[in-house]
């Protein structure tokens, strides 16, 4: 094969530049698409097996640079490999090409020196490759900009957009210039179209998440599917009449899958905004929380399935669906399998959208928050069973120590705990699995030969609560408190103390650390993992500063007074809160994360093993606890599962047959990204990005390649 027989990287560059020049480059050797063909996360390579995986060693390490010294940077990149060249991104979103056999850098591209505007909270999960037979291009993003660069040189393609750049905020049907919008996840290619995910704010105001296909040559928008329907469009009656003019979200941020033979792109969408309070978007809210099957050439809807009606729990579809073939009732069926944050798997016929296992609309209680109308039913599949626990009862409470058990039990008794889709309450509602799954953006892997899915799941409860924002004593402080509740509270907490893991810093005593001007600049421009909030008016900024700095007039520093109540209270989400014991460990008995094999033919879980460890949480010699994971697995024809993902900073290989641990090694930082595998010169490599930076773990910048000894 061209990629595995070349004498040096020069011929690989030719292969990357033109498929026509190297017709036998295949996905058996390369890894040319994000998460593999059909999002299968599967490779036909078989050099590494359960018998020899213990011999894996480090083949090369590439340091991308740009690690944040405060550990706020992340690197969630799952790279691609085309013609023996690996394409990835640094924590600062500098994109690069490496010789995939040696890790030697070939070129580097900085989008922020080519017209993009840096945005707080931005990161890259990968890039997209396109080739028309003569022109190999890499599509990448930075901020709200989409770039096309030459795959061989990294130079911008001048005829694409404006000097190689397209503004992703343009063409959405309304002005979103001051709103947060980026693209973190690679798009998919259908013929000469790039269909691209976007990420938008989870509060209001927010940009709409319409699905757009771009011309791969020119950057022009070729079609748009409006996920918040306009008058006369299907689904318009599931929203308030003016929703298309003001509501945001319903976006695909997790990625898509394309069936090129059928010409169908499968697009999972997220919730409408604001995520946790739907008073101003009454109705079922099509096409939020929906798996869409669209004509990839035109954007026309073929079929759809909405997994959450009127979402007030942020139960986005978290990953691209897997294209798989299964056997049902003795008949082979081409299917699309979609995992969820609730740890369910929905399985549909690819052509018709017919569920391959029954789906039940189950009743759920109403909300008691004034103005909120929770939808009375929600759909759940009868099979396969969920791959994490679904309810938290007194028998599930941690027994790590008697004191932890007592305190957690008392807290649980004061909250609601009824499983999925129980509306959030003022006293707190258990979300189990938590806001980060269940399943997450790392996705699931499927073996195309067997129809078996392999997926990691987080098994940690969180708390969802709504708070009533007191109008306050002073008009300025009350307005500031409302703005804080709407835009800041979900990360920094109701009392501005930050979160228990130190991911989001506390804002108490802010005046001791920065000036009002510095704080407003950070709010407008973003910083670290924080996205910008540029749409607030000057008056709003002054009111927010009044609340944060606890003064009536931020410019003069005068203390907040008691005159001028603003009237009615506001209800807002209380913030992202894991349910932890007094020592900061999950409030539930282990395991806290698992790796699962699910037979999609029969709808059964074949095996389940603990994934990762948090040894300091338990007594020496105790079984592994499991460790919260981000990023997913890949599987190979050699019978091996590879996965990083866990907060314990390990990379592991498991036996696909039974889940036995074959090999593990320590990474320089947690590998919160899905790995890739490929072959060069007959040698199989597995590459994991080790970027860390989430849930209080240290940041990193390393891409590490593992292989068997030569």
What pLDDT digit, counting tens, does each position of 631-653 carry? 999 999 999 999 999 999 999 99
Least confident of 115-124, 246-255, 299-308, 472-481: 472-481
What does the mean pLDDT of the chain come to? Answer: 90
Beta bridge partners of 334: 325
DSSP conformational letter for 564 = -
Report the predicted TM-score, pTM, of the whole model to 2 decimal places.
Answer: 0.89
Residues 594, 629: Cα–Cα separation, whole Å? 9
Q: How would you classify the pairing of strands 95-99 and 85-89?
A: antiparallel
Sketch out the chain's domains with CATH numbers: 168-319 (2.40.10.480), 466-574 (1.10.760.10)
Q: Per the structure block, which two tokens stand in for 38? A: 């059909």
The pLDDT of residue 490 is 65
- What residues contact 517, with CB distance under 8 A and at least 6 apart? none
Give tens-digit pLDDT for 293-321: 999 999 999 999 999 999 999 999 999 99
List of long-range contacts for 350-355, beta carbons under 8 Å, 24+ apart: 350/259, 350/262, 350/264, 350/266, 350/293, 350/323, 351/262, 351/264, 352/303, 353/293, 353/302, 353/303, 353/304, 353/305, 355/305, 355/381
Phi then psi for residue 50, to 5 deg, are -60, -25
Contacts (Cβ under 8 Å, ≥6 apart) of 394: 409, 412, 413
pLDDT band for position 560 (50/70/90)? very low
- In whole angstroms, what is the distance from residue 137 CA to residue 625 CA? 44
Please state, in angstroms and rounded to a whole number, the distance separating the CA atoms of residues 659 and 190.
36
Confidence (pLDDT) at 527: 73
> pLDDT tens, 398-430?
999 999 999 999 999 999 999 999 999 999 999
pLDDT digits (tens, 9 = 90+) for 370-381: 999 999 999 999
Q: Which residue has the higher pLDDT, 558 or 709?
A: 709
Phi and psi based region of residue 602 (left: phi greater than 0; alpha: psi -120 to 50; beta: remaining): alpha
Judge whether residue 22 has pLDDT over 50. Answer: no
């Amino acid at each position: 094969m061209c990629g595995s027989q070349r004498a040096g990287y020069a011929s690989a560059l030719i292969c990357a530049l033109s498929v026509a020049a190297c017709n036998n480059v295949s996905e058996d050797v390369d890894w040319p698409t994000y998460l593999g063909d059909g999002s299968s996360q599967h490779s036909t390579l078989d050099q590494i097996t359960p018998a020899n995986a213990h011999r894996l060693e480090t083949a090369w390490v590439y340091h991308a640079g740009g690690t944040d010294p405060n550990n706020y940077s992340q690197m969630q990149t799952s790279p691609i490999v085309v013609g023996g060249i690996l394409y990835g991104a640094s924590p600062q979103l500098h994109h690069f090409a490496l010789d995939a056999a040696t890790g030697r850098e070939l070129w580097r591209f900085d989008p922020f020196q080519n017209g993009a505007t840096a945005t707080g909270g931005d990161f890259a999960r990968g890039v997209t490759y396109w080739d028309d037979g003569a022109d190999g291009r890499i599509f990448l993003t930075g901020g709200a900009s989409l770039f096309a660069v030459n795959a061989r040189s990294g130079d911008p393609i001048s005829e694409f957009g404006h000097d190689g750049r397209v503004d992703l905020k343009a063409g959405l049907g309304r002005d979103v210039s001051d709103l947060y919008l980026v693209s973190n996840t690679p798009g998919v290619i259908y013929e000469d179209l790039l269909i691209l995910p976007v990420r938008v704010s989870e509060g209001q105001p927010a940009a709409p998440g319409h699905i757009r296909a771009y011309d791969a040559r020119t950057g022009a928008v070729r079609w748009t599917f409006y996920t918040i329907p306009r008058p006369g469009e299907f689904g318009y009656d599931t929203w308030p009449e003016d929703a298309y003019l003001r509501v945001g979200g319903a976006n695909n941020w997790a990625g898509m899958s394309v069936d090129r033979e059928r010409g169908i792109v499968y697009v999972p969408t997220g919730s409408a905004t604001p995520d946790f309070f739907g008073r101003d978007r009454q109705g079922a809210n099509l096409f939020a929380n929906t798996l869409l099957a669209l004509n990839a050439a035109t954007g026309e809807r073929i079929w759809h399935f909405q997994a959450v009606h009127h979402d007030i729990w942020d139960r986005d579809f978290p990953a691209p669906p897997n294209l798989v073939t299964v056997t049902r009732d003795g008949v082979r069926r081409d299917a699309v399998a979609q995992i969820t944050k609730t740890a369910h798997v929905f399985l549909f016929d690819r052509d018709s959208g017919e569920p391959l296992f029954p789906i039940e609309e189950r009743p759920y209680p109403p909300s008691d928050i004034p103005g909120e109308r929770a939808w009375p039913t929600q759909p759940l599949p009868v099979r396969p069973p969920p791959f994490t626990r679904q309810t938290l009862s007194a028998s599930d409470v941690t027994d790590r120590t008697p004191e932890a058990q007592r305190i957690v039990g008392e807290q649980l008794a004061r909250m609601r705990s009824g499983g999925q889709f129980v509306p959030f309450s003022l006293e707190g509602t258990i979300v189990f699995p938590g806001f980060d799954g269940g399943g997450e953006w790392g996705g699931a892997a499927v073996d195309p030969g067997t129809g078996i899915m392999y997926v990691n799941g987080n098994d940690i409860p969180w708390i969802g609560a709504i708070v009533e924002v007191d109008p306050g004593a002073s008009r300025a402080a009350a307005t500031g408190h409302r703005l804080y509740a709407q835009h800041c509270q979900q990360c920094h907490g109701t009392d501005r103390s930050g979160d228990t893991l130190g991911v989001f810093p506390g804002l108490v005593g802010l005046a001791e650390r920065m000036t009002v001007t510095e704080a407003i600049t950070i709010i407008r421009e973003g910083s670290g993992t924080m996205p910008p909030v540029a749409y607030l008016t000057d008056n709003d900024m002054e009111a927010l500063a009044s609340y944060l700095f606890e003064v009536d007039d931020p410019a003069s520093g005068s203390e907040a007074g008691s005159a001028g109540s603003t009237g009615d209270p506001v209800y807002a989400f209380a913030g992202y809160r894991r349910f932890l014991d007094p020592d900061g460990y999950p409030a539930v008995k282990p395991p806290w994360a698992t790796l699962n094999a699910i037979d999609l033919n029969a709808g059964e879980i074949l095996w389940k093993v603990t994934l990762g460890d948090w040894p300091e949480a338990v007594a020496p010699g105790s079984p592994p606890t499991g460790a919260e994971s981000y990023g997913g697995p890949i599987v190979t024809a050699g019978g091996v599962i590879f996965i990083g993902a866990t907060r314990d900073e390990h990379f592991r290989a498991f036996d696909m047959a039974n889940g036995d641990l074959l090999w593990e090694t320590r990474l320089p930082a947690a590998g919160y990204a899905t790995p890739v595998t490929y072959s060069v010169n007959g040698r199989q490599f597995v590459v994991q990005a080790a970027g860390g930076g989430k849930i209080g773990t240290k940041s990193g910048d390393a891409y590490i390649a593992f292989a068997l000894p030569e």
